[in-house]
Amino acid sequence: MISLSTVNLLWLPLLGLVAGLISGALGVGSGILLIPVLVLLLGMTQKSAQGTALAVMVAMAAVGALRYYANQEIHMSVTTIVILSIGAVIGAYLGSHVAFMLSGAVLRKMFAVFIMLVGLRMFFE
């Protein structure tokens, strides 16, 4: 893995900016961009990239959600958000447990298949 000291630190904020733009504009998790870049270009392990992307998403998602919520043209149900969040928190806990049991190679392949299937479905619908 490339150590942070050998990475041009100017690229990390730019990567974060692009991830935030994609997430805020399209409503997708930044992991779609961050995980491949962290693994393929920065040499992180799959599990380290997934953990890093999840940590980055916390602040980014909060800011994006608050901006959407403040827009008078967008209607968001607090009840729906709370109920989804309960399930999402439990799912994230269980999902991370599953990820710890799988090898990085298996996780990388699962991630790639997931991204391809979602992309194909969205393209053809």
DSSP assignment letter at 102: S
In this predicted structure, what is the pLDDT of residue 1?
A: 53
DSSP assignment letter at 39: I
- Single-letter amino acid code for the residue at 39: V
Q: How far is CA 82 from CA 24, 87, 93, in A?
A: 20, 9, 17
- Single-letter amino acid code for the residue at 41: L
In this predicted structure, what is the pLDDT of residue 8?
A: 63
Q: How far apart, in whole angstroms, are the C-alpha atoms of residue 49 and residue 33?
A: 11
Q: What is the DSSP string of 53-82?
A: HHHHHHHHHHHHHHHHHH-TT----HHHHH
In this predicted structure, what is the pLDDT of residue 3?
A: 60
- Look-up: residue for tokens 């991830």? 19
Q: How far apart, in whole angstroms, are the C-alpha atoms of residue 14 and residue 33?
A: 12
pLDDT in tens, the chain (125 residues): 556 656 567 788 888 898 888 888 887 777 888 999 899 888 899 999 999 999 999 988 899 899 999 999 999 999 999 999 999 999 999 999 999 999 999 999 999 999 899 889 989 98
Domain ranges in the chain are 4-124
Query: Do 107 and 46 touch, CB atoms closer than 8 A?
Result: yes
